[in-house]
Amino acid sequence: MALRLGDTVPNFTQDSSEGTINFYDWAGDSWVVLFSHPADYTPVCTTELGQVAKLKPEFDQRNVKTIALSVDSAESHKGWIGDINETQSCSVNYPILADPDRQVSDLYDMIHPNANNTLTVRSVFIIDNNKKLRLTFTYPASTGRNFEEILRVIDSLQLTDNYGVATPANWTDGGDVVVVPSIPTDAAREKFPKGVTEVKPYLRMTPQPNK
């Protein structure tokens, strides 16, 4: 059965490029981005893995760990990492799960038979520090992911968890945010001392409260 937003994600123990990983233990108190790849030694994936390695300081700043998955073996991953580091001018600094038995692919519904019945699609799972699924993206194998968008979503999720706001279309960190409908306008003006602009009774904007 497919995972849905708000579900507690399943635990697993699986081999990886950095040894055996128990997912819950490895994740600890961190948020996690788990993202899958159709296979090792594939061109688009090589660019993606390099990009994530380069973005590690950004993920660290947000208390996020990254972990990739491919259906090939851990030994294959280690050879591929050499190519990634060489071609992308990076150093892969996070684990790549080995999933030849499809245990994790099946648990997380990463194989879509109408797209390809043997390879994982490009799935992304953003999981919070309570092991709850907060967002999923599913890309076809032919399309590389935008990891700046993944960072943007994490910024939104972490902000909206803590401040009683929502983020509007195309929001980026530092932009004005939406006051959630459950907060009356008078209460909002007290809660958000930077000011509340009432565009419509149901659409109230305020400067990002943690900036």
Do 25 and 53 have their domain in common?
Answer: yes
Domain annotation covers residue 25: yes
Question: pLDDT averaged over the chain?
Answer: 92
Number of structural domains the chain divides into = 2
Instruction: Express as a percent the part of the chain with pLDDT over 90.
Output: 81
pLDDT at 52: 97
Residues 127 and 34 in one domain: yes
Strands (E), the chain: 13-14, 21-22, 31-37, 64-70, 96-98, 122-127, 133-139, 165-166, 177-179, 197-200, 203-206
Question: Within a domain: residue 134?
Answer: yes
C-alpha torsion sign, points 103, 39, 16, 65: negative
Phi-psi map region of 174: left, alpha, beta (phi>0 left; psi -120 to 50 alpha): left
CA distance 2 to 153: 21
In this structure, the answer to whether residues 93 and 125 fall within a common structural domain is yes
Q: Residue 141's pLDDT band (boundaries 50, 70, 90)?
A: confident
What range does the domain containing 196 cover? 164-206
2 located within any domain = no
CATH of the domain at 197: 3.30.1020.10
DSSP state of 100: T
pLDDT band at residue 130 under the 50/70/90 scheme: very high
CA distance 98 to 96: 6
Taking only the tens place, the pLDDT of each residue in 163-211 is 989 999 999 999 999 999 999 999 999 999 999 999 999 999 999 999 8
Please check whether residue 6 lies inside any domain of the structure.
no
Q: Are 98 and 16 contacting, i.e. CB atoms less than 8 angstroms apart?
A: yes
Catalytic residues: 45
Q: What are the CA-CA distances from residue 38 to residues 64, 137, 203 (Å)? A: 23, 15, 42
